């Protein structure tokens, strides 16, 4: 299978690249700074470019079976548009048969209010407000313009080990937060790339 990964040099994207390569897939990674990619593999192709550049997105998505949008940022204090701009670029180039698996997070869309007291009433409205406003826009673009998509909403991310044991929830009744390792998010994404069961859905991943 041919899998493209946007944001592959760290975090969930890097874990996804490692998992996909170990499973025998061809991986194309979009990296703004290719030298920061810590992986080297015969089945890994690195495309230099920015996710906000339409030409870079078109180049990385061409010929792929699955595109994984794993963009992340540590810049949460200023206005953010990278998530929605990447989604706009993907919406213009992805073909109906291609699958997009995009990572947003707990607090996006109808998962807002399910993060727990401190997260919902302190971190979301004060610290993460700008980032999640753009993630909400990202989700709206994806759901309105693409044929085959899965939006993955991880809980609070950890650097814990791969376990393969977690919950993918579409009914959030009674849910108030939860953790998940980046490697287990990648495990779920790879499972959906190979055998998608959540097309058109927004599963929340927690233990």
Tens digits of residue pLDDT in 83-116: 999 999 999 999 999 999 999 999 999 999 898 8
Number of Cα atoms under 13 Å in the Cβ half of residue 175: 26
- Residue 196: which domain range? 2-206
Question: What domain count does the chain have?
Answer: 1
DSSP assignments along 114-183, one per residue: -S-HHIIIIIIIIISHHHHHHHHHHHHHHHHH-SSEEEEEE-EEE-----S--EEES--TT----EEEHH
For tokens 């990278």, what's the residue?
82
Give pLDDT, residue 38: 94
Backbone angles phi, psi at 49, to 5 degrees: 165, 170
Q: Average the pLDDT over 189-201 and give the result.
A: 98
User: Does the pLDDT value for residue 153 go beyond 80?
Assistant: yes
For 42, the token pair is 């015969």
Percent of residues, the chain, with pLDDT higher than 70? 99
Band (77; pLDDT cuts 50, 70, 90): low
Give the CATH number, domain containing residue 147: 3.40.50.720
Lowest mean pLDDT among 29-38, 117-126, 150-159: 117-126
Q: pLDDT digits over 136-148, tens only?
A: 999 999 999 999 9
Q: Are 26 and 106 in contact (CB under 8 A)?
A: no
pTM of the model: 0.96
Query: How high is the pLDDT of residue 121?
Result: 77
């Amino acid at each position: 299978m041919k899998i493209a990964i946007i944001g592959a040099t760290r975090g969930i994207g890097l874990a996804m690249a490692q998992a996909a390569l170990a499973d025998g897939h061809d991986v194309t990674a979009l990296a703004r700074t290719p030298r920061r990619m810590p992986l080297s593999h015969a089945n890994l192709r690195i495309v230099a470019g920015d996710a906000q550049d339409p030409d870079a997105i078109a180049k990385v998505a061409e010929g792929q079976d699955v595109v994984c949008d794993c963009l992340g940022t540590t810049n949460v204090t200023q206005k953010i548009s990278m998530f929605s701009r990447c989604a706009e670029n993907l919406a213009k180039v992805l073909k109906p048969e291609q699958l997009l698996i995009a990572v947003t997070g707990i607090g996006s869309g109808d998962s807002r209010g399910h993060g727990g007291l401190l997260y919902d009433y302190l971190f979301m409205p004060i610290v993460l407000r700008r980032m999640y406003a753009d993630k909400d826009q990202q989700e709206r673009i994806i759901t309105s313009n693409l044929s085959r998509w899965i939006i993955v909403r991880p809980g609070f991310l950890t650097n814990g080990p791969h376990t393969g044991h977690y919950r993918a929830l579409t009914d959030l009744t009674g849910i108030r937060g939860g953790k998940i390792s980046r490697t287990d998010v990648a495990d779920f994404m790879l499972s959906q790339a190979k055998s998608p069961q959540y097309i058109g859905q927004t599963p929340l991943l927690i233990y």
